[in-house]
Structure 1
Amino acid sequence: MIKKIFFLIFIIFCFNIFSNTDYSTSDSNSDVSVSEQSTSDYDSTNISSDYKTSDSSDSIGVVILILIFLIPLFDSKPNVKPNVDYNVFVILDNNTTTNVENISKKLKENGIESLYEKKYIIQLTLYLTKYNMNNLHKIKEIIEKIANQTKSFNVEFYRLRKTDRKLLVLDAKNNENTQQLADEITVNLTKYHAKNINVPNWIKYIPEREKLFKLYGSSDVFTNFEPYIPLLSQVNLSQIQSFISKYNFNPFKSKAIGIGIAQVDDLGQAKNIIYSVKFKK
């Protein structure tokens, strides 16, 4: 609305300037006609005409200068938002929360602050990659559609593990339901992931993973998919290995009840859920 007002003012301004220019030109012609009666009058009118022509040129110059400054206001291109990392993950029932909380307490007793202790959300990743923020509404639509066609299913957690990426994770058994859900989400969302993103250095040395990353924006898809919940990131490996060997872990089962979306940091962690939807019963 503001842009339209500015544009209207600009049109009126230009009209007035060019109207005045035409009027001045008309006066100049009249003066020239009269000046034919005497040589001295002609010289005087000629000077006046030159002055008015210069004045007209200055007016056109002002219009051009104003137009240069106003062009950005009428740029028709939409605002392009930056690329961000969105994690689409399984939402689990309270039994998972209770067990993660208990592990976090034991870690704290050993002087280690868990992600849960730092108020990060519990995530079992299905598909994590980089998107343009403009595509968030499309991601939501797809997630809602898939969730409405999915029934709740069991997830069995069976061990604590230290990964090669310096994570402490709570591993889940990869059953048919989890794998199928991850594959479906990957296939449906991959067309919206940001293209031409940089391949992480650690992936460049693994041809199979590099190929997947270039195609899907993630190397942890399809046969490389591993269901787990991160408990710590960038851990002290020797300290964590000691904790794992001493901790009496009891396998447990939980129920997957929905899908969530979170914008994550460089380590793949988030403190807030952007959007969530429950599975149909």
Structure 2
Amino acid sequence: MLDVYAIPSKPIVQLVSNTSQQLATYGMQSFYQQGLPVHITLYLTAFPDGSDAAIKQAVQQLSQQNQPLPLVAKGFTVTKGNWAFIEVERSPALQRLADAVTLALAPLRDPNPVLPAWVKAYPDKLAAFERYGSPNVFQNFEPHLTLLAAEKNPQLATFQQLMQQHLPSAEGEIIGLGIGVTDEWGQQRQVLAEYLFK
């Protein structure tokens, strides 16, 4: 699976770093602390072998057409499956960027990707997956910064309560686009390319 993602500026990365340090005091190691890049997934899907050059060209072209855009990170969410996120405001500019990435890259994707089992429970996401190879595009785009996935530490509930009293927040920018090969948690185990906006 390849992830085309937005690169956040320093204040957002710093927020992830600070929150990760707090998590560490509760015995949890965030993806950031494992050395993985801070990113906002825009379009994550499977592509056929040999399409790297076309993907890079499309993403580079998009990055040349964009300028840094404001980014607000605020809030902390833990899902039923114990994934922990810092929420990101879905601004019209960020939505347009995600939509542009999806439209540019959907024609290059694998025409028969494997459907994740959980998607079947969400008709809107299933329709998006069938059309674009990803359940989280267009109206289903939910920008976030992933800290933990399927965390087993029971302290996460305590940490969540702490976060609700002092919501993590920062203002920064999206400064570019990247392409990464993802692991099972959607994190970049290998960055293929990054392109900064003008």
Aligned mates of 1:279, 1:258 — CA distance in 2: 5
* Structure 1 residue 152 corresponds to structure 2 residue 85: no
Aligned mates of 1:194, 1:165 — CA distance in 2: 28
Q: What are the Cα deviations for residues 119-172 of structure 1, in whole angstroms up to 9, with x where unaligned?
A: 111110111111123111111111111111111111001101112453101111
Aligned mates of 1:232, 1:199 — CA distance in 2: 23
**What is the SS of the residue equivalent to 2:58?**
helix
Alignment root-mean-square deviation, CA: 1.4
Structure with bigger strand share is: 2
Q: Is the 8 A contact 1:128 1:218 kept in 2?
A: yes
Q: Match for 2:157: what amino acid? A: Q
Counterpart pick for 1:260 among 178, 183, 187? 178
Q: Percent of aligned positions with the same letter in both sequences?
A: 27
Q: Is the 8 A contact 1:121 1:272 kept in 2?
A: no
Which residue matches 1:240?
156
Give structure 1 stretches of 5+ with no counterpart: 1-84
Q: What are the Cα deviations for residues 12-54 of structure 1, in whole angstroms up to 9, with x where unaligned?
A: xxxxxxxxxxxxxxxxxxxxxxxxxxxxxxxxxxxxxxxxxxx
Q: Is the 8 A contact 2:26 2:155 kept in 1?
A: no
Counterpart pick for 1:106 among 10, 19, 22? 22
Aligned mates of 2:78, 2:44 — CA distance in 1: 20
**Structure whose CA Rg is larger:** 1
Counterpart pick for 1:180 among 91, 96, 108? 96
User: What is the TM-score with the length of structure 2 in the denominator?
Assistant: 0.94
Deviation at 1:219, TM superposition (A): 0.6
Q: Match for 1:276: what amino acid? A: E
Counterpart pick for 1:273 among 175, 179, 191? 191
Aligned mates of 2:141, 2:43 — CA distance in 1: 9
Aligned mates of 1:168, 1:238 — CA distance in 2: 13
User: What is the TM-score with the length of structure 1 in the denominator?
Assistant: 0.67
Deviation at 1:268, TM superposition (A): 0.6
1:1-281 alignment to 2 at 5 Å? 85-236=1-152, 238-247=154-163, 248-280=166-198
Aligned length: 196
Q: Is the 8 A contact 1:88 1:128 kept in 2?
A: yes
